[in-house]
Structure 1
Amino acid sequence: MQANQSNYLNDNNRAVLMLKQGRHQDAIALLKQLLKKNPQNELIRKNLHNAYLSAGMAMLRKPDYQTLSALMLEAQRFDDNEHLFRVMRGRALFSLKKYNEAEIDLQMARSMGGPDTQVLFLLGNVFYATDRMYDAFDVLESARMLDPGNDAIEQMYSKVQRELSVEKDMQKEYGRHFTITFEGDNNNIIGTEVINALENIYYSLGSLMDYYPEQQTPVILYSRKQFKELTRSPDWSGGLYDGKVRLPVGGIDTVDEKVKKLLAHEYMHAILREIAGRNIPCWLNEGLAQLAEYEQEDRTLVMFEQARKHGMLFKLAALETSFKNYSGMRAMLAYEQSYSFVRFLRDEFGWYPLHELVFALGEKLTISDAIDRAYGGFGVNYKSLEKRWLNSF
């Protein structure tokens, strides 16, 4: 009996040492084995509980949301009374854009104890992402009262308040994959037309990228003045995707080809954000969005042709970051050059390597390594692709 007790204490101490070394998964596996043999042992239960918490915090720091979500579900089965397991899984699911599941865990966490600023803030983000602006406003207001002066809460609260001041009198239409917010004077026809156009785009771009987002994408149609005031975008901006598709086309009475092009452009940004997050160079992001916009025709590249003839093109590396700081003419060149290069990739190698490139970036590869994976079989790399493109004129 003493030998068995000594063995379990030794194994328990080994597990504690693994936790200190950051070997959380090994510690959890060992403690689960010990608990199976000693189901009533409170020390093992306590250490396993702490191991789940430590592993969760480590995965938040990495971050590794997919693994975190699965581990916290396992942790909940072990101890369904620990609200932090709910909070961490809710945060992971939110980051994975599984908003409905995230809300379930966060609402459960909210009901399990006293007011929790973190839970309220995360719920505010879930409600905002799913276009429930009044719900977002309410929980963020509660979070502000609990933690006055918290910068993240204040910024999110101000953002929701600002957008609500514009959108409160707008109409909403709900489709299978989109919600539309627009000014329509109780005329639902334009909302239905936008929904129908977007549903067609959802399937056409989904087939190109082999990706069909599960969550509904919010789309908001503003006047040019509202768009500029809310987004603080430069004058030349034709739209914005920041988790919601925002377009300065308010007041339209029909969905013509111009509007359909804008919708396709911004929805491609939505798909790319879903797949690659922010790990995508601007030239690829904007180039693919323009390919979606001009799917049925080639874009005229006046600025690009002039710059090419006079040796004034950007290096691709200079187009990896945002174009927002460029003036009108330079911004136009940046867009046209991005389109030209990505069109070249499509025409020269087809859609599949472009698809592979985006998904490689979704695995957090650098653009150079992602190009090696997607185009290495063609005997090219980032530098030689750029040279090959320039030599194609």
Structure 2
Amino acid sequence: MQKTHYISLSALLILFLTLLTSLPVCANDPFVHNDYALELFNRGEYEKALEQLQKAYSFFPYDETLRKNLAVTYMYVGKREMEANRYMEAADYFDHARELAPDNVVYGTMRGIALYLAKNYDAAKYEFERVRGISGDTVDILYYLGRVYYDTGELTAAIECWDKALALDPNNKAVREIVEKVRREAAVESRMGKEHSSKFEISYDAEVTSSLAGGILDILESAYNRVGSDLDYFPTARVPVILYTKKDYRNVTESPDWSGGLYDGKIRLPIGGATELTPQLRAILFHEYAHVVIHELTKGNVPTWLNEGLAEYEGRRELNPPMAELGKAAKHRGYLTFPALEGSFGAFNNRQAALAYQQSYSMVNYMIGAYGWYNVREILVNLGKGMPVDAAIKKALNGFSLDYPGVVVEWQAYMQKEFGK
């Protein structure tokens, strides 16, 4: 940020005295607004600083200092929107900054990243290519452009971008890890058949028949409607679905042996050799699609127990097997702690994983019954705003005078009543 210096010392003294007695007299002075904005900016009050600079710039739109300060402030407000997971709002602020400084590649790059995170892939791709035309290739631009290609199923183009990024920075660990992962995927997916529906694009191994793939698409469309109705959210971007042989699934995803599917931006399922649409397969499809909706509502800021619990809830409406591990835990109060269930289940053994999923489902099932879908959805929305889980629960359940530990206590009392001695 730069401060203007167009006023003499005597004028500054007069200005200072005037501000003390009658600020409205100088309300149209752009440099008063600029200097006040600078104070606000340095205190981290970016939105208020932006208001002052917008006023200053409207009075004196040809001043380069005001233009630069306004652009920088737009960027900082945009970054704050990004941190709150309001990606399209952030993209708008970065766009204002870019308009003020068209050759500044930082603003265009940030706008592209915000559009990518908002899943506005076409606009993101256009923005990254526009910035490349100004700056040439950079690691950041190539990394995110590769992500756009990857998320839209263009694996070869994604790998090409990341190879160029590695040529610029051979020691970049993040780029190297993702390109190695996607090379494994591309080697498998290159021989797959493809079909699509209005909301899903499916790739499937030769062991999966076209009729089975079509049936899976139909089930996913049903999941789209039911889960969307439950959570009052319907994603707009087409969801990639990949059906693997069990061997390819393990090689590509490096998942634990007990994993029957995962969602990492794409729904991945090990169903090679399946010949019919069983209730178990329907349950898995509803489960994995629920993760799509949960991820978009929370922007990925969700404890695993809530994520898996909701997915299990949707899957168990199709097939509800016994919960033996949870029954044992309830009788001896041998539950896993919920803080332990906030992170990945990937390191659990088979028994621990079974208990983790069953306990997560039980908690979510209790919450839906006790507090209603609306309040459970509000927890997800609060998480999507960047709140930690304890604050998200407390705000959503304020009408019940409950916080996170209080919900756990109520659930444990319910479990003791239902399953305890």
Same fold (TM over 0.5): yes
**Secondary structure of the equivalent of 2:135?**
coil
> What is the DSSP-based 3-state SS (H/G/I as helix, E as strand, rest coil) of the residue aligned with 2:336?
coil
Once the 2 structures are TM-superposed, how far is the Cα of residue 386 of structure 1 from its aligned partner?
2.7
Aligned to 2:331: 309
Q: CA deviation at 1:128?
A: 1.2
8 Å CA contact 2:109–2:127 kept in 1: the answer is yes
Deviation at 1:178, TM superposition (A): 1.2
Match of 2:69 in 1: 47
Change (3 A) 1:340 1:59: closer
Q: Does the 8 Å contact 2:30/2:55 carry over to 1?
A: no
Give the C-alpha shift of residue 266 in structure 1. Answer: 0.8
Q: CA, structure 1 residues 304+2, in 2 after alignment: closer, same or farther (shift >3 Å)?
A: closer
Output the CA distance in 2 between the equivalents of 1:335 and 1:36. 57
Say whether residues 1:387 and 2:412 are aligned partners.
Answer: yes
CA distance in 1, matches of 2:352, 2:130: 51
1:330 counterpart = 2:352: yes
1:100 aligns with 2:122: yes
Contact 1:175 1:195 in 2 (8 A): yes
Q: Which amino acid aligns with 1:151?
A: K
Q: Could you say which residue in structure 2 is the equivalent of 1:368?
A: 390
Pairing of 1:73-88 with structure 2 (within 5 A): 73-88=95-110
Amino acid at match of 1:386: W
Asked whether 1:212 is paired with 2:234, we answer yes
Query: Where do residues 169-188 of structure 1 align in structure 2 (5 Å cutoff)?
Result: 169-184=191-206, 188=210
- Confirm or deny that 1:115 pairs with 2:133: no
The residue that corresponds to 2:21 in the other structure is none
1:32 and 2:57 aligned: no
Which digits, 9 at most, give the CA deviation of each residue in 1:262-287, with x for residues without a partner? Answer: 11111111211111133322222111
- Write the letter of the residue equivalent to 2:188: V
Please tell me the residue identity of whatever aligns with 1:306. Answer: K
CA separation of 1:9 and 1:351: change in aligned 2, threshold 3 A? closer
1:213 positional shift:
0.8
Does residue 270 (structure 1) correspond to residue 295 (structure 2)? The answer is: no
Cα deviation for residue 289 of structure 1 reads 0.8
Deviation at 1:136, TM superposition (A): 0.7
Within 1, Cα distance between the matches of 2:67 and 2:337?
58
Number of aligned residues:
392
Helix, strand or coil: the match of 2:339?
helix
Shift in CA distance, 277/38, structure 1 to aligned 2, threshold 3 Å: closer
3-state SS of 1:318 partner: coil
* 1:59-109 deviations in Å (ceiling 9; x for gaps): 667776444212112223334443332211111122233323222222222
* Paired amino acid for 2:321: R
Describe the SS at the equivalent of 1:112.
helix
Please give the secondary structure, in 1, of the residue aligned with 2:179: helix
Q: What aligned pairs does 1:211-360 form with structure 2 within 5 A after superposition?
A: 211-296=233-318, 298-360=320-382
Aligned-pair CA distance for 1:17: 4.6
Report the CA distance shift for 1:205/1:188 in structure 2 as closer, same or farther (over 3 A). Answer: same
Residue 21 of structure 1, CA deviation: 4.2
Greater displacement, 382-391 / 352-361: 382-391
Identity of aligned residues (%): 32
Larger Rg: 2
Measured against aligned partners, the alpha-carbon deviations of 1:190-218 in whole angstroms (never above 9, x if no partner) come to 33222222111111110011011111111
Distance 1:27 1:372, change over 3 A: closer
Separation in 2, partners of 1:372, 1:20? 32
Could you list the runs of 5+ residues in structure 2 that have no partner in the other structure? 1-5, 13-28
Moved more, 335-344 or 38-47: 38-47
Aligned counterpart for 2:166 among listed residues 115, 122, 144: 144
Once the two structures are overlaid, the 10-residue window that deviates more, 135-144 or 50-59, is: 50-59
CA RMSD across the alignment: 2.7
| C-alpha deviation, 1:357, in angstroms | 2.2
| 1:352/1:55 CA distance change after superposition, 3 Å | closer
Whole-angstrom distance in 2 between the partners of 1:257 and 1:61:
41
Whether 1:89 and 2:114 are equivalent positions in the alignment is: no
Deviation at residue 56 of structure 1 after TM alignment:
4.8
On the 8 A contact 2:105/2:134 being kept in 1, the answer is yes
d(CA) in 2 for partners of 1:321, 1:2:
57
Q: Deviations over 1:153-202 (max 9, x none)?
A: 11121111121111111112122211111113795333322222211111
Q: TM-score, normalised by structure 2?
A: 0.84
SS at match of 1:299: coil
**2-structure distance, mates of 1:14, 1:84:** 26
Aligned to 2:399: 377
**C-alpha distance in structure 1 between counterparts of 2:379 and 2:31, whole Å:** 50
SS in structure 2 opposite 1:44?
helix
Unaligned runs of 5+ in 1: none
* C-alpha distance after superposition, 1:225-275 (max 9, x if no partner): 111112111111111111111111123333332222111111111211111
